Structure 1
Amino acid sequence: MALRLLQHRDTSGARAVIAAFDGSAAFVNGVSSVRELAMRAIEAGTDLVTAVAACGTGDSVLLATEYEAGHIIAPIDHDDPAHLILAGTGLTHLGSAEGRDKMHRAATEATAQTDSMRMFLEGVAGGKPAEGETGQQPEWFYKGDGSALVAPGAPLAMPSFAEDGGEEPELAGIYLIGPDGTPFRLGICLANEFSDHVTERHNYLWLAHSKLRQAALGPELLTGALPDHVEGVSRIRRGNETVWEKPFLSGEANMSHSFANLEQHHFKYDLFRRPGDIHVHFFGTATLSFADGIRTQEGDVFEIEAAPFTLPLRNSLVRDVAKPVIVKAL
């Protein structure tokens, strides 16, 4: 099994990095964040596995126990949240157009092909270019900065003005921009790309508004080659009842775009190659409870699990209190 990295914070606030191989896990010596470990690997011209070996490991740790105790935080962050960028791409998975097309067709009552379906079909035709070629540009959206990143187990808060708080089970790529502007992929995480689907359904041009929400990452950052096939389950628990559950697929074999194509179209912008920045890029999904007619409620718990990750991602749904905004002239 590939190296998995986790970030730990104990009751005193002290931070550490955990390295997990197969069934064992231990604290990494001398580093307090995955970003610090990755910077060491870049500076040494090595990889994360070699960087962990160079640091050495100390006490062993039981991941499930620490997770249940609330000591596992998001597997990536930045000392300055403004230098962590959350973004993503949609309509990237085979079958992902059905739910979106249904939403947008219902909103417009149109008989013509929707923009969502057109974009999806263009991705199917040109989303996996041959090496050296430029593939079809995907749908792209901005979600926020590091202040919107929620730890596994912490609540996902929809704004007071939100129409909906809905889960999106997917994979997220984690990147660190090197000193010369080179994007380095650290690995992938399980993710809940939390969105407002009611707002999006009202008008597709409100997609940008619907995506400006928090998002959660699973406990583990899986390093190494990107998986071709990921099979998981997404569910919603309401009290002691499971009100919705459905399998989901991800990985390049189940996508209309290649990971390389999605990365190319994100990092082609100079703005996204600023040295030292962290990028969390959500790769999309084809499975939404909203598309099955589910309306979430405050207190619902989203649970997402998938191999090769060993721990699930769980977050409850809450609503933020209203925060009046007053613009003052100077």
Structure 2
Amino acid sequence: MTTLRLLQHRAEDGTRSVILAEGDAAHVLTGVASVRELALRAIEEGNSLAATARACGIGDAIDIAAEQAAGRLIAPIDHADDAHVLLTGTGLTHLGSAEGRNKMHQAAASGENVTDSMRMFLEGLEGGKPAEGQEGQQPEWFYKGDGSQLVGPGEALTMPSFAKDGGEEPELAGIYIIGNDGQPYRLGIALANEFSDHVTERHNYLWLAHSKLRQAALGAELLLGEVPEKIEGTSKIVRGGETIWEKPFLSGEGNMSHSFANLEHHHFKYDLFCRPGDIHIHFYGTATLSFSDGVQTEEGDVFEIAAAPFTLPLANPLARAAERAVTVKAL
């Protein structure tokens, strides 16, 4: 069974286009310049995103690996106004994800000393996959920023000047759009590096909110259709051309303590997140971190994440922003 993917292309002169990839073949779609435009057309016509893409005219064949190497593939979703893109996520959603969190918090995971993280993980394990029609346990939830925080394949993940750490989080992200009637639609999923400051979080778990206000990266491919039950990938860090850390990571509902439907319910139950036209990028979580293995990242390190059925890897170098003065003036 071949996988259907959508990609966004930006030529050197700034011209935008959408690519439809199926198996090893990929073609430019005619008459559409963005995935968001295509999604809104699908909603208006009452068709699936895949059917709407197939109904477009087919342009030139394209080598997506070569285009990525040339830096001409961008994140597979965006909006002309960054304020209408929300980056959010959920943690402690994967089997085994509590282990790394408890290592960070350096607390026992049994008896009276059970951490809040372990308690939340166990509650999700018990109630994160409710039967259809029932409400399940709500997950941990966090906010990362708006569309200005989103980077694409090959772009630097830049931590703030004051960051204590810049660490990878290899996972899947759900891509959503809100229809004109306030109905959320899942367009598909993308490979993602959620990127966090684990040193800040380790100091005090109440600083989780601070640690998550960071950029995030999406792979070039938007995978359409039903999410595979199990996804297996590899996360590694390359320094000076040498791999200094590498580990497999698992995702998909078969490797999670929450269902996608439950995570979606507890995000979109808020009217705030059902504003027509908005784009939501929601990170589903991971159980694999180099930080949990004692790795200290450095500027210039390259995070590389790959997982089938995505055909293109996601690679982003680590950078640090220049220091800037923070002042507030009274009016």
> TM-score when scaled to structure 1?
0.98
C-alpha separation in 2, matches of 1:260 and 1:288: 25
2:156 maps to which residue?
155
C-alpha separation in 1, matches of 2:241 and 2:106: 35
- Aligned-residue CA RMSD (Å): 1.3
Q: What is the letter of the counterpart of residue 162 of structure 2?
A: F
2:321 maps to which residue?
320
2:46 maps to which residue?
45
1:21 maps to which residue?
22
2:308 maps to which residue?
307
C-alpha separation in 2, matches of 1:232 and 1:308: 9
Alignment of 1:96-135 (within 5 A): 96-105=97-106, 112-135=113-136
C-alpha separation in 2, matches of 1:111 and 1:305: 40
Q: What is the letter of the counterpart of residue 106 of structure 2?
A: R
Cα deviation 1:161-192 (Å, max 9, x = unaligned): 00000000000000000000000000000000
Query: What SS does the aligned partner of 1:198 have?
Result: helix
Deviation of 1:324 (Å): 1.1
Q: Is the 8 A contact 2:245 2:290 kept in 1?
A: yes
C-alpha separation in 2, matches of 1:2 and 1:305: 16
Cα deviation 1:2-49 (Å, max 9, x = unaligned): 310000001101010000011100001111100000000000000112
Q: What is the letter of the counterpart of residue 89 of structure 1?
A: T
Given the superposition, is the C-alpha separation of residues 154 and 148 from structure 1 closer, same or farther in structure 2, using an over 3 Å criterion? same
Q: What is the letter of the counterpart of residue 215 of structure 2?
A: Q
1:278 maps to which residue?
279
1:206 maps to which residue?
207
Equivalenced residue count is: 329
Deviation of 1:240 (Å): 1.8
Query: What SS does the aligned partner of 1:253 have?
Result: helix
Query: What SS does the aligned partner of 2:99 have?
Result: helix
1:63 maps to which residue?
64
Q: Is the 8 A contact 2:153 2:316 kept in 1?
A: yes
Deviation of 1:226 (Å): 1.1
C-alpha separation in 1, matches of 2:83 and 2:127: 34
1:220 maps to which residue?
221
Cα deviation 1:203-239 (Å, max 9, x = unaligned): 0000000000000000100000011100000000001
Alignment of 1:137-216 (within 5 A): 137-216=138-217
Q: Is the 8 A contact 1:11 1:71 kept in 2?
A: yes
Q: Is the 8 A contact 1:86 1:144 kept in 2?
A: yes
Q: Is the 8 A contact 1:3 1:49 kept in 2?
A: yes
1:229 maps to which residue?
230
Deviation of 1:53 (Å): 2.3
Query: What SS does the aligned partner of 1:265 have?
Result: helix
Q: Is the 8 A contact 1:9 1:71 kept in 2?
A: yes
Q: Is the 8 A contact 1:105 1:114 kept in 2?
A: no
Q: What is the letter of the counterpart of residue 91 of structure 1?
A: L
C-alpha separation in 1, matches of 2:112 and 2:295: 25
Q: Does 1:268 align with 2:265?
A: no
Q: Is the 8 A contact 1:18 1:28 kept in 2?
A: yes
C-alpha separation in 2, matches of 1:262 and 1:49: 23
Gaps of 5+ in 1: none
C-alpha separation in 1, matches of 2:177 and 2:170: 23
Deviation of 1:50 (Å): 1.4
Query: What SS does the aligned partner of 2:281 have?
Result: strand
C-alpha separation in 2, matches of 1:53 and 1:198: 46
Q: What is the letter of the counterpart of residue 90 of structure 2?
A: T
After the TM superposition, which parts of structure 1 deviate over 2 Å for at least 4 consecutive aligned residues?
A: none
Percent pairwise identity: 72
> TM-score when scaled to structure 2?
0.98
Q: Is the 8 A contact 2:107 2:115 kept in 1?
A: no
Cα deviation 1:221-265 (Å, max 9, x = unaligned): 000001110000000000121000000000000000000000000
C-alpha separation in 2, matches of 1:240 and 1:179: 48
Given the superposition, is the C-alpha separation of residues 102 and 111 from structure 1 closer, same or farther in structure 2, using an over 3 Å criterion? farther
Q: What is the letter of the counterpart of residue 202 of structure 2?
A: R
Q: What is the letter of the counterpart of residue 244 of structure 1?
A: W
Q: Is the 8 A contact 1:236 1:303 kept in 2?
A: yes
1:254 maps to which residue?
255
Gaps of 5+ in 2: none
C-alpha separation in 2, matches of 1:289 and 1:16: 36
